[in-house]
Structure 1
Amino acid sequence: MSINNINNGSPKAPVDNQRLSQQQQALNNGNAQQSSVQQAATAGVRQDSVSLTTYAQQLSQVQRKSTEAPVNQEKVDRLKKEIQSGDYQVNPESLAQKISTLESELFGTKA
């Protein structure tokens, strides 16, 4: 089996090894120069930044408020004892109102 019309019938040009090595060397030098220029540019201009979502900002405010809030340790101890003994009673209406108030304070809505 024979293959016709390879290279449109024209003879194959001989490879010029010297020219090929010069082209490869020039390409390598160009890549090295470009890489060093990019490294120098990024080294001097590098800046990091952080952007918080609205939810993250609200969470940060809540955490800050919780660390600043005073703690009545006597009341905490009394409530712990009542819960452990089973004497603590939850008022569902009062609890619902307090949750609603907290959400309105956190998210800026009216209760």
Structure 2
Amino acid sequence: MAININNLNSNNQVQQTQQKQVQQQSAQTASSNSQVKNAGQDSVSITPQAKQLNELQKKAVDAPVVNQKKIDELKKAISAGDYKINPEKLAASIANFEFKLV
């Protein structure tokens, strides 16, 4: 059994260490490259409900907020007792509204 007291094999050890480092770096590079490739494959899809909600939001923004003239006319008619309610038309409107909710 020989003992190396002059450290003659240190060049071998340095080369092996350098080779391991190069292998580790190349493995890390390959891993990061595959992650970049996968990131390019992402996609997004919008559901029909989201599209419908977007359309409703646009309509709500475009709609007039309050028709103050009509409100004033209705208040005046109610105060004067001239506003008449058609119960059949009211019932039909309520039923129609309920059916649209379902």
TM range (shorter): 0.3 to 0.5
TM-score relative to the length of structure 1: 0.41
TM-score relative to the length of structure 2: 0.43
| Bigger-Rg structure (1/2) | 2
